[in-house]
Amino acid sequence: MRINFIFSAIGIVLRYISIMILIPCIVALIYRDYNSLIPFITASMISFVVGLVLRRNQESMDSLNNIKKSEALFTVSLSWIAISLISAIPYLFYGISPLDALFEATSGITTTGATILTHYDYPKAMFLWRALSQWLGGMGIIVLFVAILPQFRVAGRQMFYAEAPGPTEEKVTPRIRHTATALWGVYIFLTGLQIVLYKLAGMEIFDAVCNSLSTLAAGGFSPNAEGIIGYHSSSIIWITIIFMFLAGANFALQYKVIVQRKYSALIKSDEFRWYFAIALGLSFMIVLALVLNSDYPYAKAIQDALFQTVSFMTTTGFASVDYTKWDLPAKIVLLLATFTGACAGSASGGLKIVRVVYIFKYLKTEIIKILHPNAVLPIKIDKTIVSEEVGKQIISFVIFYFFIFAISAFAVSIIEQNIIVGFTGSISALGNIGPAFGSLGPYDSLAILHPITKIIFIVIMLVGRLELVPFLVMLHFDFWKVKN
């Protein structure tokens, strides 16, 4: 690794992040909350100064375009860690402890949405920062900088895929910078549309902005202590269902439909069809469980089942009901949604549907080969043969995903002396979902957790958001060979 290249890239990121941290100051000025100017100005100044310190000579800046894959992975990992630390600074000014501030900041930037807040008596500027940090993290901070900064004109490709590594490298335009711009364009358009619909449904404009930023990011932070259910509106719940579903769909696919008007792309996408089918299937099973085992009205069962299924699949984490009070069969089905995730190239976390589809097809192929050993059965997704190399990467990812989950669940269960908290809390943090089960339900604060548990969750939230790869490669000795 060439440390100069890495520091130069991180320095650029922190200097531009310093500008974005100032956005909540606008809200502070509108609501004449002048005390809230200090937290964000301070955080902005620290970010800018650190960015200047990390900046190397102009030669290092120009050489960014020669950045290697390992350097890109390390740059992305350190960038997210640095941004989490910087994002935690404003929370310190509101009486939140350093560890809890880092937890809230990491939960925000990774779009996990798990909170340590025990009350909501905070200024609006802080709530905007919670939502804005999720929105920036939802599409990807590096993806944003690839779209707007000429410094990343070539190096951007390596960092683009390092930030959100997936089974495929899908582009909507020949140039990676134009692809990043196109994806952010769809992201901004959908966010604006949801704000308008929320306002038309009767939500206050500030809440509409915050909730829309969190929804499209598949985040889950809300300025309302009760979340979406706190607005007592069926229209708002259905608007949220629709946009949570869109947040979990591949944004490149949505670009093809919205901008290029290739409507058949939805039908041709194996992943989208599975995404749609799994969401409906799990929702249907929950409806049956609620109606047959509880005195649940049909209309409300359909609404709540769809909302919670889509919320968990897309890892948004919003709640339309306290699902922890459901009967066991309904909770078990909902728990399945935490393991699927949504589509690759979306704002969601988790395994991703495309990996689930591949594993299903791989197992099916292996069963057939037992009966027909000489059969040649290539695995196809979207009518394209998945190469053996990509297949191995998918299988390795799934193995490491469940390995990290198992280790985390084991450790947290011992620390908290609660297997439900350990099991569901770990998959929720690793999958960037937010709420879990037991004492980690949709209306519970994670402030009650042991400090070591919070540290474990902070780490696996970051690991889950970057889809393991940037962190896993750091475990190899060769990765740490440093060059000037």
* pLDDT score of 65: 59
The pLDDT value recorded for residue 58 is 46
Partners of 385 in beta bridges? 380
- Cα-atom radius of gyration of the chain, to the nearest Å? 22
Q: Is the pLDDT of residue 174 over 50?
A: no
What distance lies between CA 209 and its chain's CA centroid?
Answer: 18
The one-letter code for the residue type at 130 is R
pLDDT digits (tens, 9 = 90+) for 122-147: 999 999 999 999 999 888 766 655 55
pLDDT band at 154 (very low <50, low <70, confident <90, very high): very low
CA distances to 32, 39, 248 from 89, rounded to whole Å, are 21, 7, 30
Q: Which tens digit of pLDDT belongs to each residue from 222-261?
A: 999 999 999 999 999 999 999 999 999 998 899 899 988 8
pLDDT digits (tens, 9 = 90+) for 180-224: 778 888 999 999 999 999 999 999 999 999 999 999 999 999 999
pLDDT in tens, 442-458: 989 999 999 999 999 99
Distance CA 105, CA 112 (A): 10
Tell me the pLDDT band of 478, cut-offs 50, 70 and 90.
low
More confident residue, 134 or 393: 134
Nearest CA among 149, 148, 145 for reference residue 160 = 145
pLDDT at 351: 87
Q: What is the reported pLDDT for 412? A: 97
* pLDDT confidence band for 389 (50 / 70 / 90): confident
pLDDT at 349 over 90: no
| CA 471 remoteness from chain centre | 16
Give the pLDDT score at 62: 52
pLDDT of residue 73 exceeding 60, the answer is yes
Residue 321: per-residue pLDDT: 92
Read off the amino acid at residue 296. Answer: Y
467: which residues sit within 8 A by CB, 6+ positions away?
Answer: 164, 165, 166, 397
Is the confidence at residue 372, as pLDDT, over 90? Answer: no
Listed in sequence order, the residues at least 6 apart from 468 whose beta carbon sits closer than 8 Å to its beta carbon are 397, 400, 401, 404
Query: Which residues, in sequence order, are CB contacts of 353 under 8 Å at separation 6+?
Result: 271, 274, 275, 278, 340, 341, 342, 343, 344
Any residues with CB less than 8 A from the CB of 51 and at least 6 apart, and which?
Answer: 10, 11, 12, 13, 14, 15, 17, 18
pLDDT digits (tens, 9 = 90+) for 399-449: 999 999 999 999 999 999 999 999 999 999 999 999 999 989 998 999 999
pLDDT in tens, 256-295: 999 888 888 888 899 999 999 999 999 999 999 999 887 7
Per the confidence metrics, is the pTM higher than 0.85?
yes
Confidence check: pLDDT of 169 > 60: no
Separation between Cα atoms, residue 166 and residue 466, nearest integer Å: 10
Predicted confidence (pLDDT) per residue in 455-471, tens digit: 999 999 999 888 777 67
Query: Is it the case that residue 162 has pLDDT exceeding 70?
Result: no
pLDDT in tens, 13-68: 898 899 999 999 999 999 999 999 999 999 999 999 999 888 765 445 555 556 67
Number of other residues whose CB lies within 10 A of the CB of residue 257: 16
Residue 352, sorted as left (phi over 0), alpha (psi -120 to 50) or beta, turns out to be left
Interatomic CA distance for residues 183 and 347, integer angstroms: 11
- pLDDT of 374 reads 84
pLDDT in tens, 75-114: 788 888 999 999 999 999 999 999 999 999 999 999 999 9
When the pLDDT of each residue in the chain is averaged and rounded to a whole number, the result is 87
